[in-house]
Structure 1
């Protein structure tokens, strides 16, 4: 008599690997083609890298030499912090205050690094060099990919293209600013803030983010006449806890109202 086959003996079909799971390696189902990742990464790197020209002009206009300007881009390489530093210096701010504001803006990259270290899983020997490229753009491109291979390609191409182009256009902007003399007469002193706002605007999507931006603007502009240059930028950072505290209060009121 033939032995009966139970349901447990029938092998279940193996589900395809989920490419969205963190750490998925190359070849995962649904992973984007390498050419598509490279194209998007180059687009971001070139678009943002060209704004290094504005930084070079702004930095030279604030009194920094070409060598100092290029050193900032080579060694710091975080656009928002660089613009904050030279902007505070241009406004007559204390160098230590300007550096503090730039430092606090750059702290966010440390949190990016915590996320990317798990996603990219780079060899230990490479991590110190890769850390220099952990910025807004490389993080955004890496996190947009579906697998580890795509994330690594996106991070590398974005970082390399942006680093090379940013430093090249920084040099061109600084040399050009020295050649034309007074940048204020040409209105180039507004180039830095304009580029900074252009980079920031697409990131403000939700109502809470818009509230943070609005409170930060009110704090910064309101305190500008009474505080030393550079300090209002630091105080504007309080917009985040202020908005979060207000959101918490509204959530508590809503909960109490539903309980009644």
Structure 2
């Protein structure tokens, strides 16, 4: 395999948000040996720095589910595929008409900035973040967004994602990466797979030479596209069922590292 692509949360990163020393050593060795490393995450750019600090390599990162490809070496977004303002407005209008109590937030500029309706629940770690703040719906719709975030109280994640996806069919992509009931909406055709295919082409790497790891529904397109799509032992049941293979260990126990050590005979 010439390219290793991996999701972060629930896959490479442990619950305490750390990357194990074993994983760090392995990824540094792979990088030295010429293997292309690509991080592929639903995270916005503003959440990536701690992973870089631990890994010690400047891996190209596909953020916000494929809407932004970020180069940490130059601190630039090398490719973006946002929801245009008109599409964003149509998506919000459809959802507000169909889903009682729905509230919205948007990730802008690859997730360097987040704006949310006043009633949208924001994580405690972001309440006072300088790049995160409340805004009216009209303000949310004034600019393109890397990702639209949708909530409507407490919802079962998979069922609510399916409901949002049906409402936005033909307009945008809907997925989820947690059990919190938040749906993540991207522009039509924008997934982790579409962005990873673009990066692979720049390195003249075919899908057959790509191994990809993931754990949640937003990873499904990427695992299907890669020559070897590997689900984590702790993955969502649909991801385990769809993957080509499943790790023996979870993200807490170096599942990715153990699998790659066998692949590369390290």
TM-score band w.r.t. shorter chain: under 0.3
| TM value normalised by structure 2 | 0.25
Which structure has the larger Rg?
Answer: 1
Q: Which has the higher contact order (CA 8 A, sep 6+)?
A: 1
| TM value normalised by structure 1 | 0.26
Higher helix share: 1
Higher strand share: 2
